[in-house]
Amino acid sequence: MGQKASRPLSPHLLIYRWSPQMAISIVHRVTGFILSTAGMLVLLWWLAAIGGGAESYAIFKTYVVNAGEGATALETASNWFFRLAAIAVLYSFFQHLFSGLRHLVLDTGAGYELNANRTWAIAAFIAAFFATALVVLFVASRFIGA
Amino acid sequence: MGSGTKIGRVRGLGSARQGGKHWISGMESSVASLLLSVWLVVSLLLLPNFDQATLAQWLGQTSVAVPMILTIGVFFWHTQIGLTVLIEDYVHDEGLKLGTLMLLKLYALAGTVFGVFAVAKIVFAGAGA
């Protein structure tokens, strides 16, 4: 990609239909990036907040879990930002876990038959979606709202 | 080695002969991350609540602090291996690539040290009130 293509290129390289197998490959990388950055930073923040005591843990909770009753507009806004980030990290965790399991199977040399490869790619997406939804509903019912 | 196109100059040289080790490390760290993730999720679900006092008491135990320190180390190990692949694939400028890889190593090392310190503090000095 480094050099500019001044010669004519065959157009067939740019014409293709997206498939679940292609999507899961790039999603594995994107979710890995999210976990490595946002995920690890939240994990470190959580550990430091536990060590920092009840007050610093309350600050962590105000942002990531629930801004609470007397929250300012800014606190509520940041809370929603971090909630969305937390959902992204959670989804990334399950997606990366399931697509990672798929990669471990592929690394043994199995699962390359066209139908099997496609089926397991779709299965990993579905499993990640439901696992994320389950945890979000669990957290929402237990810690957020009335 | 010809002086033609970029691909012409590398054709016939074979592989770089160093990718296999990185790939194996990626698998090793992924299996370790998987096992420790399961440990982390299961032991969190077994807690009665997620109050700071409960979590501090939980983290203060040797049987929790040791796997937690291991988890931090393994996650950052896997982070470094995974992001190295991303950087090598998507950062094309050699200087920028070298600099980004350095930053990544620093991030993984600093993150590990910070996490280990945070857990060790709770174990040895106790969590703040």
Tell me the CATH number at A74. 1.20.1300.10
Contact A43, B115 (CB under 8 A): yes
- CA-based R_g, chain B, Å: 21
pLDDT digits (tens, 9 = 90+) for B53-101: 999 999 999 999 999 999 999 999 999 999 999 999 999 999 999 999 9
Query: Tokens in use for A90?
Result: 């959670």
pLDDT digits (tens, 9 = 90+) for A19-78: 999 999 999 999 999 999 999 999 999 999 999 999 999 999 888 888 877 788 888 888
pLDDT level of residue B46 (50, 70, 90 thresholds): very high
Query: Tokens in use for A5?
Result: 């293509």
Chain A contact set for B37 (CB, 8 A)? 93, 97
Mark yes or no for CB contact B79/A53 under 8 Å.
no
Within 8 A by CB and 6+ apart from A129, the residues are A91
From residue B78, give the alpha-carbon distance in Å to each of A28, A79, B28: 13, 29, 9
DSSP string for chain B: --SS-HHHHHTTS---S-HHHHHHHHHHHHHHHHHHHHHHHHHHHTSS---HHHHHHHHTSHHHHHHHHHHHHHHHHHHHHHHHHHHHHH--SHHHHHHHHHHHHHHHHHHHHHHHHHHHHHHHT----
**pLDDT score, position B78:** 97
Tokens 């990672």 -> residue: A100
Mark yes or no for CB contact A97/B37 under 8 Å.
yes
Estimate the crossing angle of helix A73-107 against helix B19-45, to 10 degrees: 130
Answer with the residue of higher pLDDT: B43 or A68.
Answer: B43
> Does A42 lie at the interface with B, CB-CB under 8 angstroms?
no
Contact B43, A39 (CB under 8 A): no
Is A11 domain-assigned? no
Complex ipTM:
0.89
Estimate the crossing angle of helix A20-34 against helix A114-143, to 10 degrees: 40
> Does A29 lie at the interface with B, CB-CB under 8 angstroms?
yes
DSSP string for A43-60: HHHHHHHHHH-HHHHHHH
Is A8 domain-assigned? no
Chain A contact set for B76 (CB, 8 A)? 40
**pLDDT score, position B129:** 67
Answer with the residue of higher pLDDT: B60 or A3.
Answer: B60
Q: Which domain holds residue A112?
A: 20-143
> Can you tell me the mean pLDDT for B43-59?
93
**pLDDT score, position A10:** 72
Mark yes or no for CB contact B55/A107 under 8 Å.
no
**pLDDT score, position A146:** 40
Chain A contact set for B19 (CB, 8 A)? none
Is A2 domain-assigned? no
Mark yes or no for CB contact A35/B79 under 8 Å.
yes
Is A50 domain-assigned? yes
End-to-end, the C-alpha distance of chain A in Å comes to 54
Is A9 domain-assigned? no
Query: Tokens in use for A45?
Result: 């923040």
Report helix, strand or coil for A23. Answer: helix
Mark yes or no for CB contact B92/A1 under 8 Å.
yes
Q: Residues 80-139, chain A: which have Cβ within 8 Å of B? A: 93, 97, 100-101, 103-104, 107
Give how far A99 is from chain B: nearest CA, Å: 11
The chain-wide mean pLDDT, for chain B, equals 93
> Can you tell me the mean pLDDT for B29-57?
94
The sign of the torsion formed by the CA atoms of B89, B90, B94, B98 equals negative
pLDDT digits (tens, 9 = 90+) for A65-119: 888 777 888 888 888 999 899 999 999 999 999 999 999 999 999 999 999 999 9
Domains of chain B: residue spans and CATH? 15-124 (1.20.1300.10)
Residue A9 and residue A84: Cα distance in Å, rounded? 42
Listed range (A83-87, B3-7, B36-40, B44-48) with the worst mean pLDDT: B3-7
Chain B contact set for A55 (CB, 8 A)? 128
Percent helix, strand, coil in chain A (nearest 5)?
Answer: 75, 0, 25
**pLDDT score, position A2:** 56
Q: How many domains does chain A have?
A: 1
